[in-house]
Amino acid sequence: MNEKIPKLHSTLTKYPRKTASDPGEISRLTVIRTKNDRRRRLEIRRLKYTCETMTNITITENKNSGDKDYDRLHGSKPSNGSKEISLSLSSSPSNQSTSDGGGIVLAGFVEKTRKKNDDVQTLTRTSHGLLSVIGRRCEMEDAVKVELGFMDKGGEKFDFYGVYDGHGGFRVAEECKERLHKLLVEEMAEDNKKGSGIDWGTTMERCFEKMDQEVNKGRLAEEMVGSTAVVAVVGNGRLVVANCGDSRAVLSRGGVATALSFDHKPDRADELERVEAAGGRAINWNGYRVLGVLATSRSIGDQYLKPFVICKPEVTVHELTSRDEFLILATDGLWDVVSNEVACRVARRCLNGQIRSKSADVVNQNRAAEAAAMLVELAMSRGSRDNISVIVVDLRKT
């Protein structure tokens, strides 16, 4: 035993422990360690997710019935610097397919049949996932809305998806989330009474105009607050997209990313001409802004910037085909740092099971939800400093 001590002492002498003897070096290392710990805590706080999975059951002999399972999804950042998603399951009631604060809401649907007491129960569906996080902003001003079967016309059900990016506050975006799809139902009902088919362009314009009137002259009366809006209606073999502002809808068709909306930026040639014709100006103040204030030339609300900023949406109608894969609706928190092609590539790999999180055995029950989560993670890793909201709708037929 005593003979080993000198050997150990000589070893320690030969390879002394490296320490920072310079007080300045110690101070610098302490500051770096403190910043890293603070950054890690902020990432964990901002990436707290709430997972929600819902199933609609249609029974052939009875009325519709449903059951809901709710899971909470929490994000974590491992010590090696890469980000991954981990899940902890707990029961938690929630409203259908809506975002809550800066959390993530995931929803999914699968298709299968089963027999029970000679009754056939069919789980019909399209798969979708949505996610909305505060990101690196101090306040959450985004809002998202999914309303499945929000309208039934001639036995055909329509699904509604909406993403709203507020500015100057959250109230207009929240009001759009609660009201816009209801106003659309009213407008579609008016078209039914007239006995004419739906003119989607006119119907969407009336809907957005009524929404604008409600927030500008109704109980809100928020003259200095507004919100962009990009919404999609899926049904009867069609995909209808209406956009007002700089959020965006992108369709993946046959492996090619196709923009279904075009951002309303003040420096866009036709938008600049319209603003100047109305007597306004687009000023380059940290990016082009209407009167040097607003970075989008169309929005709902913003009474103080009218008539330069209008609420009229641009509407596109597309016939769905077997080549259509999925639809992405997102705010500029994603599109400012991720291109259409890259977003579609990531979403496609998620939907095909080529990209999986650490808890893929749970998340894989809804790959569209995992795709939305991965897109948000990508935007944050690329330095997005805005709120980020994403909806991924899987259009493939199982």
3-class DSSP assignment, residue 122: strand
pLDDT at position 6 is: 45
Vertex 117 angle, CA 113 and 119, to 5° = 45
Class for the domain spanning 135-394: alpha beta
Closest listed residue to residue 215, CA positions, set 143, 290, 109: 143
Closest listed residue to residue 330, CA positions, set 313, 343, 348: 343
Query: For the stretch 185-224, what's the b/e string if a residue is b when 16 or more beta carbons lie within 10 angstroms of its beta carbon?
Result: bebbeebeeeeeebebeebbbbbbbbbbebbbeeebebee
pLDDT < 50: residue spans in the chain: 1-18, 20, 44-45, 48-125, 359-364, 398
Report the C-alpha gap between 220 and 111 in whole angstroms: 42
Find the Cα–Cα–Cα–Cα dihedral 393, 394, 397, 398, rounded to 10°.
Answer: -130
Residue 69 CA from chain centroid, whole number: 21
Residues 6+ apart with CB under 8 A from 389: 99, 130, 131, 132, 133, 142, 143, 144, 163, 164, 165, 330, 331, 333, 334
Q: What sign has the CA pseudo-torsion 274, 278, 279, 283?
A: negative
pLDDT at position 95 is: 36
Closest listed residue to residue 52, CA positions, set 71, 76, 35, 33: 71
> Tell me, what amino acid is at 53?
T
Report the C-alpha gap between 41 and 44 in whole angstroms: 5
Closest listed residue to residue 85, CA positions, set 96, 94, 72, 95: 72
Report the C-alpha gap between 59 and 72 in whole angstroms: 29
> Which sequence spans correspond to the domains of the chain?
135-394
pLDDT at position 107 is: 34
Give 247-288 pLDDT, tens digit per residue: 999 999 999 999 999 999 999 999 999 999 999 999 998 899
Report the C-alpha gap between 221 and 63 in whole angstroms: 42
Q: Are 376 and 108 in contact (CB under 8 A)?
A: no
> Tell me, what amino acid is at 67?
D
Closest listed residue to residue 111, CA positions, set 57, 68, 67: 57
| Prediction pTM value | 0.71
Q: Are 230 and 248 in contact (CB under 8 A)?
A: yes
